[in-house]
């Protein structure tokens, strides 16, 4: 659906953004900078003053009013609760890219969203984010037998809101969680979206292992992925980047690239596909 609209060039692709923090604001700026490709259909966030540079005709005060918008792609940059409350309604009308993928560890919710998408010709899209080698993980015909995703971050770049851990008490590299991706997503929902994406693309959130290390000696965020296949194959990737809050500084670039790919657009004269 979305590719047909873009290829015909009858109009620019209409994008809605939920959340207007660091990532949401940056995506809005990029959408507005490419009017030949995109139109910013709406921005929705809890506090109107945060989106003071967004006109009243674009700002959506209540997400329940989404049905009155003629939008092609909605990108969520706010919180997993958005997908729980509004994901199905969005997919009934548009493609949906939730960045808070921890919501998708709810099997019943994920199944419902996929059913709605299939019934309406829309797509539930996963942005690569910090995931390196995602295409390599998905293109193999031989299944992966084991997958482990490890995040290493400074304690200041880990959100401990849902656990009883004082980051100031961490004085050396400390494994704050090791277990299934489903369990780590419940305890650190803002920190492990990339882990969830890797798990959903491969062996599932129960089988995939997640490890979170808080290390005060780090001056960057490190994401490591190891995968073992049934035929003896092995894949390992490591990505290091400066961090802002719980995200890496390249996160906006990565998400923007995902938006371009989802829309069928590209900014590259030569591209690996």
146-192 residue pLDDT tens: 999 999 999 999 999 999 999 999 999 999 999 999 999 999 998 89
Please check whether residues 64 and 151 belong to one and the same domain. no
Q: Give the whole-angstrom CA distance, residue 83 versus residue 271.
A: 32
pLDDT in tens, 111-128: 999 999 999 999 999 988
Q: Which long-range contacts (CB under 8 A, 24 or more apart) does 60-69 make?
A: 60/16, 63/18, 66/16, 66/42, 66/90, 66/93, 67/93, 69/14, 69/16, 69/41, 69/42
Residue 259, φ and ψ in degrees, nearest 5: -60, -45
Q: What is the largest CA-CA distance in the chain?
A: 58
Please check whether residues 184 and 237 belong to one and the same domain. yes
Task: Give the residue with greater pLDDT, 65 vs 177.
Answer: 177
Please check whether residues 12 and 117 belong to one and the same domain. yes
Going by pLDDT thresholds of 50, 70 and 90, the confidence category of residue 269 is low
* pLDDT surpasses 50 at 17: yes
Domain housing 78: 2-125+251-263
- At residue 103's C-alpha, the angle toward residues 149 and 260, to 5°, is 75
Any idea what the CATH number is for the domain that residue 200 is in? Answer: 3.30.360.10
- Assess if residue 270 is contained within a domain: no
Number of structural domains, the chain? 2
Please check whether residues 73 and 180 belong to one and the same domain. no
3-state secondary structure of 272: coil
- Assess if residue 109 is contained within a domain: yes
Please give the average per-residue pLDDT across 192-204, as a whole number: 93
Please check whether residues 115 and 171 belong to one and the same domain. no
- pLDDT, residue 262, reads 87
- pLDDT, residue 272, reads 53
**Considering the entire predicted model, what is its pTM?**
0.89
- Assess if residue 58 is contained within a domain: yes
Any idea what the CATH number is for the domain that residue 100 is in? Answer: 3.40.50.720
pLDDT in tens, 30-59: 999 999 999 999 999 988 988 989 999 999
* pLDDT surpasses 90 at 211: yes
pLDDT in tens, 231-263: 999 999 999 988 776 666 678 888 998 999 888
- Assess if residue 118 is contained within a domain: yes
């Amino acid at each position: 659906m979305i590719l047909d609209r873009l290829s015909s060039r009858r109009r620019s692709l209409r994008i809605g953004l939920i959340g207007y923090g660091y990532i949401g604001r940056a995506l809005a700026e990029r959408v507005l900078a490419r009017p030949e490709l995109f139109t910013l259909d709406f921005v929705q966030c809890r506090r109107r003053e945060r989106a003071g540079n967004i006109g009243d005709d674009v700002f959506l005060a209540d997400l329940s009013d989404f049905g009155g918008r003629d939008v092609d792609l909605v990108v969520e940059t706010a919180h997993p609760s958005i997908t729980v409350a509004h994901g199905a309604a969005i997919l009934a009308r548009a493609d949906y890219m939730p960045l808070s993928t921890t919501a998708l560890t709810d099997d019943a919710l994920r199944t419902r969203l996929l059913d709605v998408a299939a019934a309406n010709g829309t797509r539930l899209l996963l942005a690569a984010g910090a995931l390196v080698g995602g295409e390599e993980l998905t293109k193999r015909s031989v299944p992966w037998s084991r997958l482990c995703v490890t995040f290493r971050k400074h304690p200041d770049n880990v959100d401990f809101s849902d656990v009883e851990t004082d980051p100031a008490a961490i004085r050396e590299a400390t494994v704050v969680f090791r277990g299934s991706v489903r369990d780590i997503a419940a305890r650190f929902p803002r920190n492990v979206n990339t882990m969830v994406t890797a798990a959903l693309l491969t062996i599932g959130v129960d089988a995939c292992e997640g490890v979170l290390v808080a290390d005060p000696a780090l001056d960057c965020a490190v994401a490591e992925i190891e995968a073992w296949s049934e035929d003896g194959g092995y894949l390992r990737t490591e990505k290091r980047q400066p961090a802002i809050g719980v995200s890496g500084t390249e996160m906006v670039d990565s998400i923007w690239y995902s938006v371009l790919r989802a829309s069928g657009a590209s900014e590259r004269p030569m591209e690996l596909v």
